[in-house]
Amino acid sequence: MYRTNKKTALHLALLAAGLAGGGVAGAQNLGQVQDVVVTTGTRGEARTVADSPAPIDVISGEQLIHTGRAELAEALARLLPSFNFGTNQAGVNSVVRPVSNRGLGPAYTLVLVNGKRRHNGALLTNGGGDTSGVNAIDLDTIPLSVIDHVEVLKDSAAAQYGSDAVAGVVNVILKSASHGGQVQVGYGELEHGNGDTRNRKIEGNAGFRLGESGFLHIGAAARKRGQSWDNFPATNLVAYSPASNPKNATWNRDGAHNGDPGIEAYDVGFNAELPYNAAVVLYAFGTAGTRNTVAGNNFRRPNGLATIGQLFPDGYFALNNMSAYDYQLNVGARGRTAGWNWDLSSGYGRNHARQYSNLTINPSLGPASPTHFDNLATYRFEQWTNNLDVTRQVGIGQARPLQWSWGVEHRVERFSTFAGDPLGYINGGYIFRPGDQEGDPNVGKPAAVGAQAGVALAPGDATRVRRTVLAAYNDLGFQPTSEWFIGGAVRFEHYDDSAGNTVSGKINTRYDFTPQVALRATAGSGFRAPSLTQVGYSQTDNRTNINPVTGVVAPSLSKLLRNDSALARAFGARDLEPEESINFGLGLVFKPADSVNVTVDAYQVKVKDRIVRSGYMFGPAFTPTLLAAGLTGSEWVQYFANAVDTRTRGVDVVADATADYGRLGVVRWGAALNWNKTTLAGIAATPAAITALGANPGGSSVWFGYSAGGGIGDLTASPRTKLILSARWFAGPFETSLQGTRYDSFTWQTTANRAQDYHFGAKWLTDLDVSYALTKKTRLVLGAANLFDVRPDRNGPGDANTGSSGFTYGPSPFAPSGVYYYAKASHDF
């Protein structure tokens, strides 16, 4: 009763506060979104959003903060229909939640900060709609308090910025004010859920003058989110009857603590400029932060092979803990010499993550197993980037001068992994004995191997991969007439590893028929080298996997093989080749009135030789080879391969309008739609080394088939359409933001049995945020994300092995945690 009353009261308070704003006089002067000046997508000459030859979305720092609970990655997905945010909620995979853009995974969107390349994260993507194994950039390490705005280029820009800009570019622009600042505190809580459903955050920023005309702007944030989960007990526990262990009769069927990981994070950022003389400006910016996380996992049952009764007689929920730090520093100078504007910069970034566990065991060690492991695996990614960018205008007798830009880049990347505590990965060989478990259901059977719920790297898995990239580009833009713009770019890149050399090109154009109507188009090629993680990473871990033939969830000792290992080669692995892409875009810009803007942009991106994980290879056909390699023969193994060609087609529609209603205030209306479809254009043949084993030549369970389609991420992991309708109402001291988001229905492929796929129906989510200015400098905010507590459709009755709905929601398009209420208070100074 308390929960229901609280929920109803908060709904009424939010709605009443929003309605109250309408009675306050005094419309505000907002300015137009399309008038924002952007630099992303055009070299040299800055343009407004309305004049851009490519589609660009601009998200203000204020909009990011108004998303409530979200950090940067999730905030972008809430505000942009072309972005989707992974909702993987299990184990180590829940720490890195990848963001997809225009139907393509995180590897295809380049992230910049102040126009400079951001370093990658150390952890691999392995869930939430992306199992490609790339090391996605961790956007959440950039504190929101230091962000001025974000420019999102929704167009391929590989020829301008680099090979990983196939789907577009996210450019985070930091605050640059030399005075003032803000401090903000916030508290939020999920309406439902188990564990700690609270979220607390304090953040602030301040600007200072450097010298006569320079600035230093700093920001920081501290946040703590509780570990929470929301499961529904399963009832189909045929596999574990009370007879096998008396404790099953009284078990409460709580079988998984998958959900939001607990996070404690501290982040800082700064942006600074100082004129050196009249022609040269020195600058520096950077971020640094630490994060500690704890993620839940499936319940290890008291009668299972992973439980030792002397240690955990009632079973246990293994924990996956992570301690990480991240930093990046960029320094540089820009100026003007002999008519050329130049920018020389250098930046170094590192992401470091150590995995440990505060509660788990290695069952194969028997009763002597530790229940706490300080170090199971360590991951590190480093990147050092140096750039020289030069641009100038050259008169060529056309309507406007030619904009000529060129530049060079030197980049060094290094990915390393380090082995953990041997007790976490060794096979102690323990055989269950009488008295180890109540009822003695497993006497004579070998116990599971390795620390549960985590990845425990052995010395044979440790790696250190390094490469150097050299690049040069040339970019031209000119206007034959005042209405017609033509731009072109070409980029050469040299990789000192197997990726080799590549040349990418792009041409784009825009023609303004009238001040109200314009067409724009683009065509280009791209190249994505295999990520260092895809090239050099290997691991052995103990997890629960869905058998791709039977659809049954069962424990498995899984190995991700390094592509060049002898065992991978025995199963047909070959050197990874670069992916190649071709993209086309066509758009319409329509401005029927000064305060109304509409853009429609269609696109197609073809990716050839796309790198994905193979399906799991396991079973009798593989056992002899596994035994010959010194393994147990029961492992499930896979590796990365250039296995598929894909084609992505889509349309972005964005409309905004600002209306002044006099005494009722000003409303900024918004509507945005993304339609997107990715299809398989080709699948590489099953390697002869596999078919020679007689191992399911059809390939559905051992190479790449129906079940593996869901692992591509953008093939089946996101809805076909995503629609966002929004309104921001400004009236006197009140500001009300209302947003409705519709996720289309879709199906997630899970196993070789189509009857066991996950089906998600279309859903509407509503977010409401109401703020009130107590004074000119102090503001209170009350809000709700997913106001009406909409959940994804449940799929299936639950899992007999874990006894819960850990797989019931599946990889839903939005978080299944339901309504989240929050309150904030801010003070400007």
- For the residues of 509-565, what is the DSSP string, one character each? EEEESSSSEEEEEEEEEEEEPPPHHHHH--EEEEEEEE-TTT--EEEEEEEE--TTS
Q: And the tokens for 268?
A: 């800082």
- Burial-class residue 424 by CB neighbours within 10 Å (0-12, 13-18, 19+): buried
pLDDT at 753 over 70: no
Q: Is 460 helix (H, G, I), strand (E, B) or coil?
A: coil
Q: Phi first, then psi: what are they for 790, rounded to 5°?
A: -80, 135
pLDDT at 2 over 50: no
* CA 748/CA 259 separation, integer angstroms: 19
| CB of 182 closer than 8 Å to CB of 827 | yes
Helices and strands per DSSP (H, E), number in the chain: 9, 41
Instruction: Tell me which of 79-88, 234-243, 431-440, 541-550 is least confident.
Output: 234-243
**CB neighbours of 255 closer than 8 A, spacing ≥ 6?**
231, 233, 234, 298, 299, 798, 799, 802, 803, 804, 806
* CA 357/CA 296 separation, integer angstroms: 11
Q: Which amino acid is at 24?
A: V
| CB of 262 closer than 8 Å to CB of 230 | no
**Residue 246 pLDDT:** 66
Cα of 86 vs its chain's centroid, Å: 6
Q: And the tokens for 600?
A: 């429609």
* CA 715/CA 679 separation, integer angstroms: 6
Cα distances (Å, whole numbers) of residue 742 to 65, 259, 383, 571, 727: 21, 23, 38, 44, 15
Q: Which amino acid is at 365?
A: L
**Residue 605 pLDDT:** 94
pLDDT band for 614, please (50, 70, 90 cuts): confident
- Domain 2-169+185-828 CATH superfamily: TonB-dependent receptor, beta-barrel domain (2.40.170.20)
Q: And the tokens for 677?
A: 């479809």
Give pLDDT tens digits for 201-246.
999 999 999 999 999 999 999 999 999 887 655 444 444 445 456 6
Instruction: Tell me which of 33-37, 39-43, 319-323, 788-792 is least confident.
Output: 33-37
Partners of 765 in beta bridges: 741
pLDDT band for 594, please (50, 70, 90 cuts): confident
* CA 33/CA 59 separation, integer angstroms: 9
CA nearest to 323, candidates 300, 349, 289: 289
CA nearest to 109, candidates 45, 169, 22: 169
**Residue 545 pLDDT:** 54
| CB of 212 closer than 8 Å to CB of 232 | no
Give pLDDT tens digits for 639-676.
999 988 999 999 999 999 999 999 999 999 999 999 99
pLDDT at 48 over 70: no
pLDDT at 758 over 60: yes
pLDDT at 625 over 70: yes
Q: Which of 15-29, 223-237, 538-552 has the highest mean pLDDT?
A: 223-237
* CA 389/CA 22 separation, integer angstroms: 50
**Residue 756 pLDDT:** 61
* Cα-trace Rg, the chain: 27
Q: Please tell me which residue, 268 or 544, carries the higher pLDDT value.
A: 268
Q: And the tokens for 251?
A: 């078990």
Instruction: Tell me which of 125-129, 202-206, 294-298, 539-543 is least confident.
Output: 125-129
Q: Is 316 helix (H, G, I), strand (E, B) or coil?
A: strand
**Residues across the chain:** 829
* CA 356/CA 294 separation, integer angstroms: 9
pLDDT band for 719, please (50, 70, 90 cuts): confident
The percentage of the chain sitting over the pLDDT mark of 90, rounded to a whole number, equals 54
| CB of 750 closer than 8 Å to CB of 706 | no
Mean local confidence (pLDDT), 473-488: 93
Q: Is 8 helix (H, G, I), strand (E, B) or coil?
A: helix
Instruction: Tell me which of 198-212, 232-246, 352-366, 789-803 is least confident.
Output: 232-246
Would the CA dihedral through 208, 210, 213, 215 be positive or negative?
negative
Instruction: Tell me which of 33-37, 452-456, 656-660, 720-724 is least confident.
Output: 33-37
The residue ranges of every structural domain in the chain are 2-169+185-828
| CB of 546 closer than 8 Å to CB of 557 | no
pTM above 0.75, yes or no: yes
Q: And the tokens for 798?
A: 């639950």
**Residue 726 pLDDT:** 95
| CB of 114 closer than 8 Å to CB of 175 | no
Q: Could you identify the residue written with the tokens 């998958």?
A: 258
**Residue 263 pLDDT:** 92
The percentage of the chain sitting over the pLDDT mark of 70, rounded to a whole number, equals 81
pLDDT at 810 over 90: no
pLDDT at 796 over 50: yes
DSSP element (H, E) containing 11: helix 2-20
pLDDT at 757 over 80: no
Q: Is 335 helix (H, G, I), strand (E, B) or coil?
A: strand
pLDDT at 634 over 70: yes
Q: Please tell me which residue, 45 or 643, carries the higher pLDDT value.
A: 643
Mean local confidence (pLDDT), 293-304: 87
Q: And the tokens for 126?
A: 């392995």
pLDDT at 425 over 50: yes
Cα distances (Å, whole numbers) of residue 353 to 124, 377, 666, 746: 11, 8, 47, 34
Give pLDDT tens digits for 379-418.
999 999 999 999 998 988 877 889 999 999 999 999 999 9
* CA 155/CA 186 separation, integer angstroms: 36
Q: Which of 45-59, 88-102, 520-534 has the highest mean pLDDT?
A: 520-534
CA nearest to 300, candidates 547, 546, 548, 555: 555
Q: Could you identify the residue written with the tokens 């401090």?
A: 183
CA nearest to 733, candidates 668, 670, 778, 768: 778
pLDDT at 421 over 90: yes
* CA 556/CA 669 separation, integer angstroms: 51
pLDDT at 19 over 70: no
